[in-house]
Amino acid sequence: MRGGGLVAFPTETVYGLGANALDKAAVKSIYAAKGRPSDNPLIVHIAKKEDFAPLVREITPKAQALIDAFFPAPLTIILPKSDLIGSVVSGGLGTVAVRMPQNETARAVIAAAGVPIAAPSANTSGKPSPTNAQYVYEDMNGRIDAIVDGGECEFGVESTVITLAGETPVILRPGAVTQEMLEAVIGRVELSPAVLNELAENETAASPGMKYKHYAPKARIILVEGSRDNYERFVNMQRDCAALCFEGDNITIPKVTYGAEDNALSQSHEIFSALRRLDEIGAKKAYARAPEKSGVGMAVYNRLIRAAAFCVLNLTKPFTIGLTGLTGAGKGYVCERLEARGYRILSTDLYARRAVEKNSPLLGILAGEFGQDIIENGELNRALLAGRAFADSAKTARLNEIMHPEIIKMCRADASCPCVLDASQLFESGADALCSRLLCVSAPEELRLKRIIERDGITEQQARQRMGAQLSEETLESGADYVIINDGRDINSQLDEFINNYL
Ligand code: TXA
Ligand code: MG
């Protein structure tokens, strides 16, 4: 290392790929070996606390407090850099990230080198960080000079990165030293929004590493939020994919586990090797069960949501799929196809009828609004209500205001994961917000017109009037995740595409 070589070594977090931080050419070769973008700065590793000061402009009181409380630790502190640190290490920034590893082999390597060691995780850029020497070998064989094999890493996720370069301390990357632990020492610490959210196109990352695709195995990962029950029911219904779940989860498709549900440290220990194991079993798509976001779990969640490229399926929502489409588009057929694939269908039409059954409270409310005579022998006279409610748009809106909440409430009460909410007024009722994914069925206007006339035995004028009362095709389509075009094209292959890409 002193002579400019690249050596991978174990730390308590993940394996690092080390080079002399003061040797520009050696540091450059790290970027080349990893295929890492050159604006993504490296962490400088030290063996003793005294080695910190020369790397930075000044050790602030908060930095000193963290060093005293934690070092050596899976904790990286960012401060304005000294002139000793070149721009290759800092990625052109005015700051430097410094860490003193807890792992004794790591400190022995750094101490033996006798220089500060710049070391990113020893993986190919974009891949999961390596937690044992074998994984380093797989990524780096032929590209580096040596690997020091120290067995499995203890924590398994990279160090907590905190910047003290600004007014308020900010966690740029969560790790085993948690927000709670840091706040206990230096008071208020913020969590960078980039920890849990995707950066917008034009945003600059406080930590350049956060803008790149990360930790990704070959399989497409979908992070699934929700109860164990919902996760199991949904995942066990899927074909041609795998589950990335907790030990003890009841899974009937190929699976890889990453620790126990109630033990975040066991999750962090295994998450990166689990991601690599997904590749080993040849998974093309995997549903990952989301961990709790508290304590060390936050670090695990942060890595997983990146591995998933921010694709989250929220099964805490009552309806798995919200299905809508203009009248005559062929929603009914798509429902049949989804039912054949194991989804329960909840049709708002059906619930709309139930909501106004004899003696229902809603019937009384409608009569109060549209006239007592809409009730005949206790039953709703639909034609009379329709005539009055569709007479003008204010009355129609009033009808919807009364009906929609009750219908959706009834659907919710019957919902169980995985299910489909079949709703022609999905957006108008606000039920779109209650669905994990939104699917729209569409067909050319003339085709829809023909279908309604044939199906309902009505005149063209009546059909056109009915069609005119709906939201525009563009509104439905732009609100949906996926649009099935029902103009003679194969519906099943479109459904496959929707399921493959959005579920
Ligand atoms: O646990 C770890 O920290 C491991 C082991 C080997 O020590 N190292 C590691 O390094 O994870 P790396 O390069 O894979 O991740 C360093 C992260 C990157 O996201 C980088 O953008 C950020 O720290 N970083 C480094 N210097 C920074 C700086 N001056 N300002 C903001 N972010 C910085
Ligand atoms: Mg890394």
**Rounded Cα gap, residues 302 and 481, in angstroms:** 24
Q: Is 148 exposed, middle or buried (0-12, 13-18, 19+ CB in 10 A)?
A: middle
Question: Given a cut of 60, is residue 212 above it in pLDDT?
Answer: no
- Report the percentage of the chain scoring pLDDT > 90: 87
pLDDT number for residue 211: 56
| DSSP state at residue 374 | G
Quickly state the pLDDT bin for 216 (edges 50, 70, 90).
confident
Q: Whose CA is nearest to atom 20 of ligand 1?
A: 209
Residue 472: the pLDDT is: 84
Per the prediction, the chain carries an average pLDDT of: 94
Residue count (the chain): 503
Per-residue model confidence as pLDDT tens digits over 362-387 = 999 999 999 999 999 999 999 899 88
| Mean pLDDT for the stretch of residues 100-111 | 98
Where do the DSSP E strands lie in 58-134?
75-80, 95-99, 117-118
Ligand 1 atom with minimal separation from the 121 CA: 14
Partners of 438 in the beta sheet?
Answer: 322
| Spacing, Cα 120 to ligand 1 middle (Å) | 6
43/76 Cα distance (integer angstroms): 8
C-beta atoms surrounding 141 within 10 Å: 9
- The pTM for the full model equals 0.92
Ligand at shortest distance from the CA of 175 = 1
> Radius of gyration (Cα) for the chain, nearest Å?
29
* 291 Ramachandran zone, left/alpha/beta (phi>0; psi -120 to 50): beta
Give CA separation, 260 vs 14, 74, 265, 267, in Å. Answer: 20, 22, 9, 6
Alpha carbon of 42 to ligand 1 centroid (Å): 5
Q: Shortest CA distance to 470 belongs to which of 404, 396, 399?
A: 396
Q: Which tens digit of pLDDT belongs to each residue from 193-209?
A: 999 998 776 666 666 66
Q: Which of the pair, 201 or 457, is modelled with greater confidence?
A: 457
Q: State residue 213's pLDDT score.
A: 62
Choose the weakest-confidence range: 46-50, 214-218, 436-440. 214-218
3-class DSSP string for 389-456: HCCCHHHHHHHHHHHHHHHHHHHHHHCCCCEEEECCCCCCCCHHHHEEEEEEEECCHHHHHHHHHHHH
pLDDT tens figures, 241-257:
999 999 999 999 999 99
Beta bridge partners of 165: none
Query: Looking at ligand 1, which atom is closest to the CA of residue 17?
Result: 6
pLDDT band of residue 227 (cuts 50, 70, 90) is very high
> Which residues, judged by CB distance below 6 Å to any ligand atom, belong to the binding site of ligand 1?
11, 13-14, 16, 40-43, 74, 76, 78, 90, 93, 95-97, 99, 119-121, 158-159, 161, 172-173, 207-209
pLDDT tens for 132-186 read 999 999 999 999 999 999 999 999 999 999 999 999 999 999 999 999 999 999 9
Q: Report d(CA 80, CA 376) in Å as an integer.
A: 80
C-alpha 405/C-alpha 209 separation (Å) is 45
Q: Rounded distance, CA 356 to CA 375, Å?
A: 10
Indicate which atom in ligand 1 lies nearest the CA of residue 157.
Answer: 1
What pLDDT does residue 425 have? 93
Mean pLDDT, residues 275-300: 96
**Whole-number pLDDT of residue 385:** 93
Q: Tell me what pLDDT residue 217 has.
A: 83
Helix/strand/coil percent split, the chain, to 5: 40, 20, 40
Peptide bond between residue 208 and the one before it cis (omega within 30 degrees of 0): no
User: Ligand 2 centre and the CA of 109: distance in Å?
Assistant: 20
Please check the confidence at residue 402 and state whether its pLDDT lies above 80.
yes
Is the model's pLDDT at 358 over the cut of 80?
Answer: yes
What per-residue confidence (pLDDT) applies to 456?
Answer: 87
Query: How high is the pLDDT of residue 243?
Result: 98
The pLDDT > 70 percentage for the chain reads 97
Digit-coded pLDDT (tens) for 65-98: 999 999 999 999 999 999 999 999 999 999 999 9
